[in-house]
Chains A and B, each alone.
Chain A
């Protein structure tokens, strides 16, 4: 199986006032293509930092980060921005949709950066909304949608430019159990049927159980791993 994500001896430090805090201490991790990985751990353990490094939102102080066959730890800010547009989709706990835009316009946002015609963009938006089961809600604004529907729109936005990796930060943290299960089923389907590599940070053990592999981060280290049968 080809590696979708590879982190080798990754170190990440932050400055807090005069202090420098090392959040990740020489972390190593490999994730295969099409895997659905859940990252768990207590607050401040470094799991969000890990997710930011995988998603190209931040750069390590040491070590190598390779995602979708590209070494991103050496990229400049501008290069990372361009790289993110084509290689990673993001899903957040609070959906982070543009309140003044309808669902279709929100999903279209990543496509505006690509050299596509309006018709091509429309077709891709329709396809993405169909995958998440919201084709009949395209003209609705976020305020007219439930929490679960808003998260589906966010997932459609994440996958509309067909990135190989989806990075999800507590995607079910703001949802009730039933809706959370629907979202998790959708993420699993994207991994299994569409070959997307999904990396999800969660505090919810039930959510983590849906993943094909669970990683536990504590004090900047991966402490144990559990792989689903």
Chain B
């Protein structure tokens, strides 16, 4: 006995194959209308894939934030500088295992649109706190020893063709040197990788000593402190203890988790998630009406055909399922095409987004929305044909 044929998926497949001609007949009845509806859904899902993909790429850094790291920043604004002298006091707080610091450099290469995420850091401690940055030990040593040395991410190196030994000119939108210029020069001494998050390989790190000596303002200050703690469960208590240290001082602090810090950092560029959600929401809202109206019109025109099906013995559930299946075929086909389009576009946007592939979660979410769209738009017309009175429908009433 062939038990395989009783497998639910095979049974569903056979059922689908059996009724597919009928479902297809409904869609093929007005080819132009179906094609235009399909196209509008394809475009909506193409947009969804691109925007949601970009949003996911931005969120990845936040999601990957370490729970055992805190960030100490200025209380009023994250752009407020903090004295380097605070470091010793922060390190003395119970539960703090190590402290390092960094600043926002605001660098770019040749043209302001070629921005580079660049940070002056204390090389000897910074990379101990951030083990996800993988750098050969000899290159780290070279960075510590070379005053104007810098290490760059693999993606950044590939983007500009930079290699170890190159001298690279970087301008800063924030920091001028004592000579009045904002032209900084670094020697590439290493190339690092961040396995699993190539978006982080667009960064540049260089020595804070060189930065602090050469800059014209804010000497002896840093942008923020990164703090390693012994237990993520102690994060709130340690944050309070650190902030208490500097309460009522000239440089009050606000200590947050790394995740909160990255979220507020992203919000400085605009609330990407809100913008993306708003655009996608508006698009899907319009799509809901467009597709719903098309489905309603299509079903209304075929009332006599559905009446015939019911006359032949098709149950209320079967005709309802046929209408929903039409919606599903239309929405899922269009969503698959739209998402495939955005997936194809993603490698081209890698330099902008920093992620080479459309995240699978976005594809899954897109297909879920497609199913939701089909159900919402097909359910009303489907229920209408399910409740159809055959005698009235055949009599044109």
Contact = CB atoms under 8 A, between A and B. Distances in A.
Contact of B313 (A96, A105, A110): A110
Contacts of B312: 84-85, 90, 109-110, 113, 157
B147 interface: no
B29 A84 contact: no
Given A58-B391, A92-B394, A96-B308, A105 B315 contact: no
Contact of A113 (B24, B313, B390): B313
A57 B315 contact: no
Interface string A87-129: 0001010001011110001000110110000100000000000
Q: Is the interface of A mostly helix, strand, loop or mixed?
A: helix
Contacts of B390: 57
Contacts of B304: 96
B311 A105 contact: no
Interface string B187-218: 00000000000000000000000000000000
Nearest to B310: A81
Contacts of A113: 312-314, 318
Interface string A5-49: 000000000000000000000000000000000000000000010
Contacts of A81: 310, 313-316
B310 A52 contact: no
Interface size class of chain B, counting residues whose CB lies under 8 Å from the partner chain: 20 to 34
B317 to A, nearest CB: 9
Nearest to A109: B312
B315 A98 contact: no
Contact of A109 (B24, B26, B309, B394): B309
Contact of A78 (B308, B315, B394): B315
Given A52-B391, A57-B391, A112 B311 contact: no
A109 B318 CA distance: 13
Interface size class of chain A, counting residues whose CB lies under 8 Å from the partner chain: 20 to 34
Interface string B306-347: 001111111110100000000000000000000000000000
B313 A84 contact: yes
A98 B305 contact: yes
A82 B313 contact: yes
A195 interface: no
Contacts of B285: none
Interface stretch (B14-22, B62-70, B255-263): B14-22
B352 interface: no
A57 B25 contact: no
B313 A101 contact: no
B315 A109 contact: no
A172 B390 CA distance: 22
A69 to B, nearest CB: 18
A181 B311 CA distance: 26
Contacts of B308: 90, 92, 96, 98
A173 interface: no
A186 B29 CA distance: 31
A99 B29 contact: yes
B286 interface: no
A63 interface: no
A147 interface: no
Contacts of A52: 391
A148 B166 CA distance: 86
Nearest to A83: B313
B77 to A, nearest CB: 65
A112 B19 contact: yes
A112 B318 CA distance: 11
Nearest to B314: A113
Given A81-B314, A90-B308, 16 more contacts: A57-B311, A57-B390, A78-B315, A78-B316, A85-B313, A90-B311, A96-B305, A96-B308, A98-B25, A99-B29, A100-B24, A100-B25, A101-B21, A109-B309, A109-B312, A113-B314
Interface of B: 18-19, 21-22, 24-26, 28-29, 304-305, 308-316, 318, 390-391, 394-395
24 contacts: A57-B311, A57-B390, A57-B391, A57-B394, A78-B316, A81-B310, A81-B313, A82-B313, A82-B315, A84-B311, A84-B313, A85-B312, A90-B311, A90-B312, A92-B308, A96-B308, A98-B308, A100-B24, A100-B25, A101-B22, A105-B21, A109-B312, A112-B19, A113-B318
